[in-house]
Structure 1
Amino acid sequence: MKLIEHVACTLLLAVAILVSVPSFAENSTSSTKLSLPDANATPQAEYVRALARTAYIWGWPMVNMINRRANITQAPEPGLLDGVLPVAPRGQIGMLHDYITPGERFVVCPNQDVVYGLGFFDLDKEPVVIQVPDFGDRFWVYALYDARTDQFGELGKPYGTKPGFYLLAGPNWKGKVPDGITGVVHSSTALANAIPRVFMNDTDRDREAIQSVIDQIVVYPLTQFDGKMKTLDYSAAPDIPNPEKSGSTETRWVVPERFFDQFPEVLKIVPPLPGEEALYAQFRWLVDVLEKNPELKKAATEEAIATEKEVIAPFFSWKHNGKPAGNNWNRSVNNAQWGLDYYDRTGTAKSNMFDNRPNETQYFYTDVDASGQQLDGSRTYAITFAAGQEPPVNGFWSLTLYNKHHFFSENALKRYSLGTKNTDLKRNKDGSLTIYAGAASPGKGKESNWLPAPEEPFSLYIRAYWGKKPILDGSWVPPKVEVVK
Structure 2
Amino acid sequence: MRKIVSAFATSLLIATFPTGSFAQQVRQPEAASEINGTPSGTIMTKEYVRTMGRTAYLWGWPLVNNLNRSIAVSKLPEPGRIEGIIPAAPTGYISMLTDYIDSGEHFVTCPNQDTVYGAGYQRVSKQPVIVQVPDFGDRFYTYQIVDARTNTFAQIGKQYGTKPGLYLIVGPDWKGEVPAGVNAVIRSPTDLTIILPRVFQDDTPDDKKAVQPLISQMMVYPLTEFDGKMKTRDWTKFKSFPSPAGKSVGETKWVIPEKFFDELPIVMKEVPPLPGEEALYASFQSLIDAAAKDPAIRKMLDDVAVEAENELIKPLFDFRNNGIPLGNGWNSPSNGARWGYDYLSRAATARSNMYDNAPEETRYIYTDFDADQKRLNGKQHYTVTFAKGELPPVDGFWSLTLYNKEHLFEPNSLNRFSLGTKSKSLKYNTDGSLTLHFQHASPGKDLEANWVPAPEDEFSLYIRTYWPKQAVLDGSWIPPKVERVE
Q: Which bin holds the TM-score, normalised by the shorter protein?
A: over 0.9
Kindly indicate whether residue 225 of structure 2 is the aligned counterpart of residue 233 of structure 1. no
Amino acid at match of 2:372: S
* Counterpart residue number, 1:408: 409
Relative to structure 1, the CA distance from residue 435 to residue 33 in structure 2 (aligned partners, 3 Å threshold; closer, same or farther) is closer
Shift of 1:13: 8.1
Shift of 1:40: 2.4
Amino acid at match of 2:34: L
Kindly indicate whether residue 285 of structure 2 is the aligned counterpart of residue 284 of structure 1. yes
Shift of 1:17: 3.8
Relative to structure 1, the CA distance from residue 382 to residue 15 in structure 2 (aligned partners, 3 Å threshold; closer, same or farther) is farther
- Secondary structure class of the residue paired with 2:396: coil
Relative to structure 1, the CA distance from residue 195 to residue 371 in structure 2 (aligned partners, 3 Å threshold; closer, same or farther) is same
Alignment RMSD (CA, Å): 1.7
* Counterpart residue number, 1:16: 8
* Counterpart residue number, 2:341: 340
- Secondary structure class of the residue paired with 2:436: strand
Shift of 1:469: 1.2
* Counterpart residue number, 1:222: 223
User: In structure 1, what is the Cα distance between the partners aligned to 2:385 and 2:209?
Assistant: 32
* Counterpart residue number, 2:485: 484
Shift of 1:39: 2.2
User: In structure 1, what is the Cα distance between the partners aligned to 2:179 and 2:406?
Assistant: 46
Alignment map for 1:86-101 (pairs within 5 Å): 86-101=87-102
Shift of 1:38: 3.0
Shift of 1:14: 7.0
When normalised by structure 2's length, the TM-score is 0.93
User: In structure 2, what is the Cα distance between the partners aligned to 1:124 and 1:237?
Assistant: 28
Alignment map for 1:242-321 (pairs within 5 Å): 242-321=243-322
What stretches of structure 2 of length at least 5 have no aligned partner?
13-29
Shift of 1:76: 1.0
* Counterpart residue number, 2:210: 209
> How many residues matched?
465
User: In structure 2, what is the Cα distance between the partners aligned to 1:107 and 1:32?
Assistant: 43
Does structure 2 retain, via aligned residues, the 8 Å contact 1:18–1:279?
no
* Counterpart residue number, 1:34: 34
* Counterpart residue number, 1:135: 136
Kindly indicate whether residue 181 of structure 2 is the aligned counterpart of residue 180 of structure 1. yes
- Secondary structure class of the residue paired with 2:196: strand
When normalised by structure 1's length, the TM-score is 0.93
Relative to structure 1, the CA distance from residue 32 to residue 298 in structure 2 (aligned partners, 3 Å threshold; closer, same or farther) is closer
Shift of 1:41: 2.8
Cα deviations by residue, 1:140-164 (Å, 9 ceiling, x for unpaired): 0000010000011111111110001
Shift of 1:311: 0.7
Does structure 1 retain, via aligned residues, the 8 Å contact 2:40–2:285?
no
Alignment map for 1:49-64 (pairs within 5 Å): 49-64=50-65
Shift of 1:294: 1.4
Shift of 1:314: 0.2
* Counterpart residue number, 1:24: none
Does structure 2 retain, via aligned residues, the 8 Å contact 1:417–1:451?
yes
* Counterpart residue number, 1:163: 164
Does structure 2 retain, via aligned residues, the 8 Å contact 1:18–1:276?
no
Shift of 1:15: 6.5
Does structure 1 retain, via aligned residues, the 8 Å contact 2:106–2:251?
yes
Amino acid at match of 2:275: P
User: In structure 2, what is the Cα distance between the partners aligned to 1:187 and 1:88?
Assistant: 19
The percentage of aligned residue pairs carrying the same residue is 53
User: In structure 2, what is the Cα distance between the partners aligned to 1:15 and 1:60?
Assistant: 22
Shift of 1:46: 2.0
Shift of 1:276: 1.0
* Counterpart residue number, 2:400: 399
Shift of 1:444: 2.7
Relative to structure 1, the CA distance from residue 216 to residue 338 in structure 2 (aligned partners, 3 Å threshold; closer, same or farther) is same
Q: Which moved more, 1:436-445 or 1:160-169?
A: 436-445
- Secondary structure class of the residue paired with 2:181: coil
* Counterpart residue number, 1:470: 471
- Secondary structure class of the residue paired with 1:445: helix
Shift of 1:274: 1.2
User: In structure 2, what is the Cα distance between the partners aligned to 1:32 and 1:476?
Assistant: 47
- Secondary structure class of the residue paired with 1:434: strand
User: In structure 1, what is the Cα distance between the partners aligned to 2:477 and 2:86?
Assistant: 34
Relative to structure 1, the CA distance from residue 280 to residue 116 in structure 2 (aligned partners, 3 Å threshold; closer, same or farther) is same
* Counterpart residue number, 1:3: none
Relative to structure 1, the CA distance from residue 32 to residue 58 in structure 2 (aligned partners, 3 Å threshold; closer, same or farther) is closer
Amino acid at match of 2:174: W
Amino acid at match of 2:129: V
Shift of 1:446: 0.6
* Counterpart residue number, 2:104: 103
Does structure 2 retain, via aligned residues, the 8 Å contact 1:18–1:275?
no
Shift of 1:49: 1.6
Relative to structure 1, the CA distance from residue 327 to residue 300 in structure 2 (aligned partners, 3 Å threshold; closer, same or farther) is same
Shift of 1:332: 2.0
Cα deviations by residue, 1:442-481 (Å, 9 ceiling, x for unpaired): 1231100000001000000000000011111100010111
Relative to structure 1, the CA distance from residue 195 to residue 402 in structure 2 (aligned partners, 3 Å threshold; closer, same or farther) is same
- Secondary structure class of the residue paired with 1:313: helix
